[in-house]
Structure 1
């Protein structure tokens, strides 16, 4: 009976130490003597290491996803900037066409080469163009470009 009790007490103590140490509390920097023994015997350190590795893997995966999203956003921004630059160039061409139309209209007025009805019609179209152009921002949409082109196309 004494022999059985001799092995029973240390085993009971070991079991109690193992039960007292949870995976969360098995931090090697913050454990005491008994909790350190409990963490060592009860696989607390191994479980903590595995949990930390799982967290690291998850955070690395999240970081990779965020980096991919940032890359896609950067590409989209570049495409939008290119598109806006193209539309600004188109708007500049249209503005120069309108300037040419104004010059022709002034020459026609000076030379009296148009009838008064034709002159009024051209002036009305130019006023329509000017009104539409006034509403267009420095970042025109494709609809704005098309509308201005169609007005000038009728002149």
Structure 2
């Protein structure tokens, strides 16, 4: 009788241990038999380990995403600084063009240049104006170089 009792007890525990997987071992939803099975079979420990592994993975993923966001933020700031610098350069080039227009008008009024020279400078200014009209408020370095090149020939 004793042997059968031990066999029955041992068999019951083995049955409980076998039925309780780590996925099923949730202390919030544990019944009497599943709770005993999870405790004896190590299901709670396995579930805890799985959750810790998942947490570690999610923390690492969050850290990587945070680093990527920081890099994107730095790149955006750099691009904004580059655009602001190019806008300043464009403003300087526009000031040079305005100065050249003023000098051309004075030269016309004073007759200090020949008609051919005046016509050449007017064509260069027209070329500048055409090129400038195509340049957006966010000029590329190529646009700036092109405009500057036209003015330097004057």
Give how far 1:101 is off.
Answer: 0.4
Long gaps (5+) in structure 1 = none
Paired with 1:4 and 1:28, the residues of 2 have a C-alpha distance of: 33
What is the DSSP-based 3-state SS (H/G/I as helix, E as strand, rest coil) of the residue aligned with 1:25?
coil
Q: Aligned runs of 1:2-81 on 2, under 5 Å?
A: 2-81=1-80
Distance 1:35 1:121 in 2: 96
Matched, 1:108 2:107: yes
Shift of 1:3: 2.9
Q: String of CA shifts for 1:6-25, please: whole Å, max 9, x gaps.
A: 21111111011111111111
Shift of 1:110: 1.0
Matches within 5 A, 1:126-145: 126-145=125-144
Q: What CA distance in whole angstroms lies between the structure 2 residues aligned with 1:9 and 1:30? A: 26
Over the aligned positions, Cα root-mean-square deviation in angstroms equals 0.8
1:123 aligns with 2:122: yes
Q: Scaled by the length of structure 2, what TM-score is found?
A: 0.97
Q: TM-score, normalised by structure 1?
A: 0.97
- Count of matched residue positions in the alignment of Structure 1 and Structure 2: 154
Q: Give 1:102 shift.
A: 0.3
In 2, distance between residues paired with 1:94 and 1:105? Answer: 16
Paired with 1:50 and 1:105, the residues of 2 have a C-alpha distance of 82
Distance in 1 (alpha carbons) for counterparts of 2:34 and 2:5: 23
Partner SS state of residue 107, structure 1: helix
Runs of 4+ displaced beyond 2 Å: none
Query: What are the superposed Cα offsets for residues 53-85 of structure 1, whole Å, 9 maximum, x if unpaired?
Result: 000000100111111111111111111111111
SS in 1 for 2:108: helix
